[in-house]
Structure 1
Amino acid sequence: MSSTPPSPTASLRGRIPNVPFWAQILLGLVLGALLGWAAKSGDISWLSTTLGKIGDIFVQLLMLVIAPLVFFAILVSITNLRNVSNAARLATRTLMWFMITSLIAVVIGLGIGLLTDPGAGTGLTAADGAEPKKHGSWIDFLTGIVPTDIVTPFTELKVLQIVFMAVVVGVAILKVGEKAQPVLTLSHSVLELLQKALWWVIKLAPLGTLGLVGTAISTYGWNLLSKYATFTADIYVGCAIVMFGVYPLLLAGVAKVNPLQFFKGAWPAIQLAFVSRSSVGTMPLTQKVTERLGVPKEYASFAVPFGSTTKMDGCASIYPAIAAIFVAQVFDVPLEVKDYILIAFVSVIGSAATAGLTGATVMLTLTLSTLGLPMAGVGLLLAIDPIVDMMRTATNVAGQSVVPILVASREGILDRAAYATADGSHLEDGESRVDAQPQPVAA
């Protein structure tokens, strides 16, 4: 009796060990640090250039799909709400929990900043940093939501304007009804294609980690951390308190679920966010792990894309709070109680200004301009930004998954059996997060 011989690919897979994704990223992190140190200490320009190109290409690949991904993800998420009972209440409660957790995060950030004085004794001045190219203001924030044309938001990656257009088109599709079904079907197909392409980019995350970490160390060196040691530690400690303290307490106390199980299921998205420094780039994976943690797909497909562009506990709450205190201390500007209240207000209301992209410069300039602090302070923090941004973004993504679980639990729609068995270690490449055949639009 003849049997089919194993294919060369299958034989090769049998000989090559299956290295877990988290181990690949950790290996990239270690190698990147070593290569960056070697390039810096040995003044090896070609190695620094190579590391920079590797990191830049990885980020560029992420950015390439972000604009259309945001548009179609938000559009589809709006139309998916028609399949959810009490959609308006779900949306309202999601926004409410976004604001509650943001307020908790900014209070923690302010507390840490006041206790540690991150800007005291650094010896830094305005000459140590460059003026930021982009400033944020409330007028720019409010007027910048509505685009002047439909092309510029995509070419210049103005995410808030892309979100605005997606919401308008999504609502229009619902209002038009059956006649808009071809547009909705096409949107689902395009979204699946974009998600598949992004999964290919995600597979390159270990290599991207090597380039990004290596570039940061080869460019700035370890000596940079000495001047920003307290500030950097404050950001990491603040984010850790929120991620491993506040979120577990909310999961246990509000959702009545095991917090450890959450991290078991959501860890792939959190670690990818740490590496990519992009909430939007991590969005498909965040949505997948949220669904596997028992949140209904129809609701998760709304809450996660919405959160990826507006829910930023790390970048928009902890970071600007500590950074404002840092800048005020460097420039010897006293802050009063009303200033701390303003910081909290800006963090809770203006968090959408971060738009889920790498870096939080716009949000920081918005905070500093509201307080009347020197904009030159932003330039001081640009050097250390790649290092602190990793932890900020990981916190963002964790929160973007926690809130849908809280809301789903309170609404009685959380699949607790799925939550209890969720395992993020077996996520399959390219698994769809939208229905291949969307339901007809109700008129």
Structure 2
Amino acid sequence: MSANTKSFKLPFKLPLKAPFWAQILLGLVLGVLLGWIARSQDVSWLVTTLEKVGDTFIGLLKLAVAPLVFFAILVSITNLRKVNNAARLASRTLLWFMITSLIAVAIGLVIGLVTNPGAGTGLTPRDGELPEKTGSWIDFLTGIVPTDVITPFTELNVLQIVFMAAVAGIAALQLGEKAQPILTLSESVLELLQKALWWVIRLAPLGTVGLIGTAIATYGWDLIGQYATFTVDIYVGCAIVLFGVYPALLATVAKANPLQFFKGAWPAIQLAFVSRSSVGTMPLTQKVTERLGVPREYASFAVPFGATTKMDGCAAIYPAIAAIFVAQIFDIQLGIGDYLLIAFVSVVGSAATAGLTGATVMLTLTLSTLGLPMEGVGLLLAIDPILDMMRTATNVAGQALVPVIVSAREGLLDREAYDNAGSSPVEERERVAVAA
């Protein structure tokens, strides 16, 4: 039996027998209820408690992000030496990242043009404000290379961490056996970080209560109503990609059953929805990708690479619709050339979204390229946490999808493992408990 078909072993006994998805759902319902109570009854201590619970969960995820990204990228690059046709696999992975991003941004543009999300909102240019941080192509290109090795970790500059890890990984490949002690240490540190992160992920139902409750208590339904069309556009666009485009690609390109993909990948998708963190979800994404029959050596490269560069929700659908929204608020007409620029930025500049949560940098990069007012970012910051949940779920689904497609096309996919993903109730319970 392939190693990919092994069930995940729990490091401890679960205090709850409910499946992980049910715990997340319960957290969502409880968060909405507590958030509504806190807002409608003006219970300040409850708002503070929900905020602290959510912030603590995100803070624990952030704690592991910088070293996790560094060692995951380093190890993933060096693991390519164990894979035949590594250069071909890497290039195919990048190609499919670009293809799916192009499809996603096209869907975003069509939805934005059909629905006119900026019309009838009651918002004006005066409601916008300049963001604290903006992105431009100069900043993006010059910001890849760090000035020292400490600042990227202290400031959580994921793009610079990826750069340093890639350089270290390539250097290790060149050194060969001389670098083996460093690689062994790196693999051990990565396993340690992943083990610790599993314990944090296990707290996701509790974090869900805090994050969703805070969103409802802080923003309420009035704000969502003001951005109703824009919010619906983002969710519909992501849903079309997630439940339409991805299954179509699996069925036609990978010749694989889409339902089995969602059975296997769903724990990572739902965790991404709650945590709003592609990087924080990365260990679970890699586990479910391997469970879907992708060879471990290839998955350990493709998933970390995707977690920092593959963002169909944040870097394709969202900036496309947001650019149209901002242009309409400021009464600026966009032409065919502008839409092509949006597609270009989405396909090429998605690495700018590398980070824990949010897509503000990608949005400012898109607006600056189009010459749209940066104040438009301020219009969207309030609603961003609600949008980010669906965006990140779409990101993570795409990060698991591409390795499956590439493996299938290259004849590497374990079809038996794929077809059995999530089929056993016992294994399903262990898998969705997200333990290593």
1:23-422 to 2 correspondences below 5 Å: 23-422=22-421
Is the contact made by 1:137 and 1:369 (CA closer than 8 Å) also made in structure 2?
Answer: yes
The answer on 1:426 being equivalent to 2:425 is no
Instruction: Decide whether the 8 Å contact of 2:285 with 2:400 is kept in 1.
Output: yes
Shift of 1:430: 4.1
Contact 1:317 1:348 in 2 (8 A): yes
- Identical positions, percent: 78
- Please state how far the C-alpha of 1:128 moved relative to its aligned partner: 3.0
Residues of 2 paired with 1:260 and 1:339: CA distance? 37
| SS across alignment from 1:222 | helix
How far off is 1:17 after superposition?
A: 5.7
Cα distance in 1 for partners of 2:317, 2:429 equals 29
Question: What is the alpha-carbon distance in structure 2 between the residues aligned to residue 325 and residue 37 of structure 1?
Answer: 32
Offset of 1:125 from its aligned partner?
2.1
- 1:440 aligned partner: none
Q: CA RMSD in A?
A: 1.2
| C-alpha displacement of 1:126 | 3.6
Deviation at 1:378, TM superposition (A): 0.5
Give me the whole-angstrom Cα distance separating, in 1, the residues matched to 2:95 and 2:19.
37
Give the AA of the match of 2:36: W
Deviations 1:124-179 (A, max 9, x none): 12443442111000000000000000000000000010000001101111111111
3-state SS in 1 of match to 2:156: coil
SS of the residue 1:167 aligns to: helix
Question: Within 2, Cα distance between the matches of 1:109 and 1:356?
Answer: 22
Query: How far off its partner does 1:119 sit?
Result: 0.4
Counterpart Cα distance in 1 of 2:372 and 2:39: 34
- Greater C-alpha Rg: 1
State the 1:320 CA deviation. 0.2
Unaligned runs of at least 5 residues, structure 1: 1-12, 432-443
- Check whether the contact 1:129–1:382 (CA below 8 A) recurs between aligned residues: no
Counterpart amino acid of residue 80 in structure 2: L
Does the CA-based 8 Å contact 2:156-2:355 persist in structure 1?
A: no
Structure-1 separation of matches of 2:229 and 2:22: 29
Query: 1:44 offset after TM fit, Å?
Result: 1.1
Deviations 1:21-72 (A, max 9, x none): 1111111111111111111111111111111111101001000000000000
TM-score when normalising by structure 2? 0.94
Please state whether the residue corresponding to 1:223 is helix, strand or coil.
Answer: helix
Alignment TM-score, normalising by the size of structure 1: 0.93
* Per-residue deviation, 1:226: 1.2
| Shift of residue 429, structure 1, vs aligned partner | 5.0
Three-state SS of the structure 1 residue aligned to 2:343 is helix
Contact 1:78 1:170 in 2 (8 A): yes
- CA distance in 2: counterparts of 1:381 and 1:357, whole angstroms: 18
